[in-house]
Chains A and B, each alone.
Chain A
């Protein structure tokens, strides 16, 4: 299945681990790897992530053992031990997590044991093997989460029925993660529950530490965070459900119903929340009734995104916005089973629109799939063109978009042509932001 990749849209396992830790409040990565690994991540996790910046202790500040040839020949454990000790002296964090690169994994450095020695002395030092060849950034996310769930989250035999955990939304890989988590927390709070997301606004490492008291884990992904949820269940006895990632009224209604049902929330409360939120949404969308129809703002669309965003976004485009998503390219590395799971999501849109869905990691293949999905004009006088069109993708898809003469909005990683702060695209409120951005582009030249 795996092969070379034309412009991959993710880092390696360690890159994903470092980005996950970067998003975790006051968590400090300690990289045990060659000197350039962290430096390489620095740019990918800043300029390609809506200008996220170097963060509290990432970018060039990432502590790193910077092993080189001699350490690779003689082993790097001693150097790692020195680095962990000195990091604890200098760097002020709530949690320290050793991540390992390819080279030290290949030579067999036992970073986990080195970290454990510090842990046994009462230092909050954890570790996992995250050699880059193990997979991509999503793998790193699951490795860090499951390690923390197993080793850091406290055992709480007594559960609090009013607390849930939510994960599966991969920080940074979802460039809008922080705003999105706000939205999801807000929605579930309306059902009467407190939510730990670990990476959200106002949360600290304590939210993670106490996560074992939760009543339910909600995974908003068919593929990411599921492994971690299984480990959580094994270690802490907390069951999990998979809920859809909600964008717009159609998807968010389903999300609230799924979550509400799993938590045994009164149906009347669920329908009241849905009705109120929808009313608010339409009180704004109503404004566009003029321009949408006066200027014919329906568009053919192509979506290029990851396994989380692609179904959610496409459903919003088809069922809420009333557009015509014809082609969806999902750029993740997935197993066949995972592909089936994700593909199923595109077959049940209420609008009846069924887009062509392909799984392909390669950037230059997007236009090839398009050529297969929509016939070319062979100098016909009359031609049913793919126009007017809109491309939802990453900043790597601008060229494809230009080739169609389509408008383009960067919504999936990498995003280097937009600044993203607390913007969210999920839920009812997030989809209003999305509409502002999308329709905003269409009126931008007026």
Chain B
């Protein structure tokens, strides 16, 4: 893969033939995905979702010592208003001096739509430099400058000569794609082009011993690619898992400092916890710097945590040590989980969120004793085929691919009547109003990953199930905005396959 010479990456409809509209069985989905025939399905009724720009900000807003410039009308990036406070707290978990989220909006009005917004962008860059002296200035480009033809790369090239901060343009115009996850490629594209040196930096002169020590250290260092929905304690758990096989971690890209990306080229291996998040980045690092990668699974649940560790151990020839560690961990975990199993036994659950996480949670919740009755994913692509295809127990259950689309979720919940909903932020409210107990699929202050994550998740589940009165009361007192007839229809009846591209 090498798109790095291009100013912008291709969108995922083109690159991965990803889809965000589907309703059918899990088995059928995997089959269709493998044949590559999911692209082009649409909806006759749709609800809002997110765009590449929103999701790009989810990563970019975490980068420390950076100023974000949203190039567009004043509302673009407005979601950051809700993030500024909590974001600072999370940055401080990595660096107590962190400044938190600072952004500037270029406030394009009618004049700029007619005359172009390039000078406004330039002013914003110079302001960001002068006012905040950040290490990086990251520009997210919105729909309007894209359609009126602002040459943001030209502006950046000129401004970079005058500005010390590294300027990173990110081409994430919302209207270009329906697959919100294209954002990951857009952000990594900007990072690869602007924060990672094109050639290896020549180090100062070092003694032979120092060079050897550094080489050894690099040979035992892996880049672990985090996601913005992870917590700091999730990261500590991953550090613990890989320390067991004597590895050092360089954690990127979320909450990293712009300079940390330089180090990314020195690691022995890139490890992803979410293939659909990272494939663009690791493929390019392999292509350009020869760094191999592992992009297979997410360390959620016993089966996938074991696999995640073993895949990495295999690369370093440490399988035996890893297996010993795993056996010990699993044994201890089993004992710890045992008291909860009766509470979970036979309870029916519907899971919604990012594809990889949802499929891994199906395995985890099955392990804990739940019956999985439906899955929903924000989008679907080839990266979930292995994990979804191998879970025989869920082959026949419905899989709904939908970025949000709470009307389909409400229909499924109404008709399947789960005892628990495990869901993505902003989807949980709708299940709650249907009276269903809810546990968030992720939470930026809670532990989900690795073996301790399984225990903590189980502990929280038992707590939430113990008294779901809050949601039960909601059901009796508030209504979802859909006509009763909607619940009599098939949940997928507004999904239109007529223009399916084979």
Closest to A413 in B: B81
CB distance from A185 to the nearest CB of B (A): 24
Closest to B45 in A: A86
Chain A residues with Cβ under 8 A from B81's Cβ? 7, 9, 43-44, 47-48, 396, 413-414, 416
Let me know if B104 and A4 touch, CB within 8 A.
Answer: yes
CB distance from B492 to the nearest CB of A (A): 13
Closest to B123 in A: A4
Rounded to whole angstroms, the CA-CA distance of A66 and B177 in the bound complex is: 10
**B426 CB within 8 Å of chain A:** yes
Let me know if B429 and A92 touch, CB within 8 A.
Answer: no
Let me know if B127 and A6 touch, CB within 8 A.
Answer: yes
Let me know if B85 and A44 touch, CB within 8 A.
Answer: no
Let me know if A103 and B143 touch, CB within 8 A.
Answer: yes
Rounded to whole angstroms, the CA-CA distance of A364 and B393 in the bound complex is: 56
Let me know if A42 and B74 touch, CB within 8 A.
Answer: no
Let me know if B113 and A106 touch, CB within 8 A.
Answer: yes
> Given A35-B178, A102-B143, are A4 and B120 neighbors across the interface (CB < 8 Å)?
yes
**A136 CB within 8 Å of chain B:** yes
**B51 CB within 8 Å of chain A:** yes
Chain A residues with Cβ under 8 A from B110's Cβ? 133-134
Let me know if A364 and B131 touch, CB within 8 A.
Answer: yes
Interface size of B as a range: 35 or more
Chain B residues with Cβ under 8 A from A54's Cβ? 426, 429-430
Chain A residues with Cβ under 8 A from B72's Cβ? 132
**B24 CB within 8 Å of chain A:** no
Chain A residues with Cβ under 8 A from B226's Cβ? none
Chain B residues with Cβ under 8 A from A64's Cβ? 46-49
Let me know if B85 and A398 touch, CB within 8 A.
Answer: yes
> Given A40-B77, A43-B79, A53-B429, are A4 and B51 neighbors across the interface (CB < 8 Å)?
no
**B213 CB within 8 Å of chain A:** no
Rounded to whole angstroms, the CA-CA distance of A171 and B74 in the bound complex is: 19
**A188 CB within 8 Å of chain B:** no
> Given A59-B426, A60-B426, A132-B75, are A2 and B109 neighbors across the interface (CB < 8 Å)?
yes
Q: Which of B69, B107, B124, B427 is close to A8, meaning CB atoms less than 8 Å apart?
A: B107
CB distance from A88 to the nearest CB of B (A): 10
Chain A residues with Cβ under 8 A from B132's Cβ? 364
Q: Which of B53, B120, B144 is close to A106, meaning CB atoms less than 8 Å apart?
A: B144
CB distance from A93 to the nearest CB of B (A): 7
Let me know if B50 and A72 touch, CB within 8 A.
Answer: no
**B154 CB within 8 Å of chain A:** no
Chain A residues with Cβ under 8 A from B85's Cβ? 395, 398, 416-417
Q: Which of A41, A92, A103, A395 is close to B481, meaning CB atoms less than 8 Å apart?
A: A92
**A327 CB within 8 Å of chain B:** no
Within 8 A of A (CB), among B96-136: 100, 102-110, 112-113, 120, 123-124, 127, 131-132
Stretch at the interface among A10-18, A193-201, A378-386, A432-440: A10-18
Within 8 A of B (CB), among A74-109: 82-83, 86-87, 89-93, 101-103, 106-107
Chain B residues with Cβ under 8 A from A421's Cβ? none
Within 8 A of A (CB), among B364-401: none
> Given A60-B48, A364-B131, are A28 and B481 neighbors across the interface (CB < 8 Å)?
yes
**A20 CB within 8 Å of chain B:** no
Rounded to whole angstroms, the CA-CA distance of A31 and B404 in the bound complex is: 15
CB distance from B421 to the nearest CB of A (A): 14
Closest to A368 in B: B131
> Given A2-B109, A102-B143, A106-B113, are A82 and B78 neighbors across the interface (CB < 8 Å)?
no
Chain B residues with Cβ under 8 A from A205's Cβ? none
Interface size of A as a range: 35 or more
Rounded to whole angstroms, the CA-CA distance of A48 and B77 in the bound complex is: 13
Closest to B46 in A: A66
Rounded to whole angstroms, the CA-CA distance of A7 and B74 in the bound complex is: 10
**A36 CB within 8 Å of chain B:** yes
Rounded to whole angstroms, the CA-CA distance of A131 and B54 in the bound complex is: 18
Let me know if A4 and B105 touch, CB within 8 A.
Answer: yes
CB distance from B464 to the nearest CB of A (A): 19
CB distance from B91 to the nearest CB of A (A): 13
Chain B residues with Cβ under 8 A from A42's Cβ? 48, 79, 426
Within 8 A of A (CB), among B23-58: 43-54
Let me know if B83 and A47 touch, CB within 8 A.
Answer: yes
Closest to B410 in A: A61
Q: Which of A11, A86, A417 is close to B74, meaning CB atoms less than 8 Å apart?
A: A11
Chain B residues with Cβ under 8 A from A87's Cβ? 45
Let me know if B74 and A60 touch, CB within 8 A.
Answer: no
Q: Which of B112, B178, B481 is close to A91, meaning CB atoms less than 8 Å apart?
A: B481
Let me know if A12 and B75 touch, CB within 8 A.
Answer: yes
Let me know if A67 and B47 touch, CB within 8 A.
Answer: no
A-B contact pairs, 24 of them (CB 8 A): A5-B74, A15-B78, A34-B143, A36-B180, A41-B78, A44-B81, A47-B83, A48-B78, A53-B429, A59-B406, A60-B405, A68-B177, A83-B44, A89-B45, A90-B486, A91-B407, A91-B482, A91-B483, A103-B147, A106-B113, A134-B110, A136-B75, A395-B84, A398-B85
A interface, CB within 8 angstroms of B: 2-15, 28, 31, 34-44, 46-48, 53-54, 56-57, 59-69, 72, 82-83, 86-87, 89-93, 101-103, 106-107, 131-137, 364, 395-396, 398-399, 413-414, 416-417
Extra contacts, 17 of them, besides A6-B131, A39-B54, A40-B76 (Cβ < 8 A), are: A7-B81, A11-B75, A12-B75, A36-B180, A41-B78, A42-B426, A44-B81, A62-B48, A65-B46, A66-B43, A90-B482, A103-B144, A106-B148, A132-B76, A134-B109, A134-B110, A364-B131
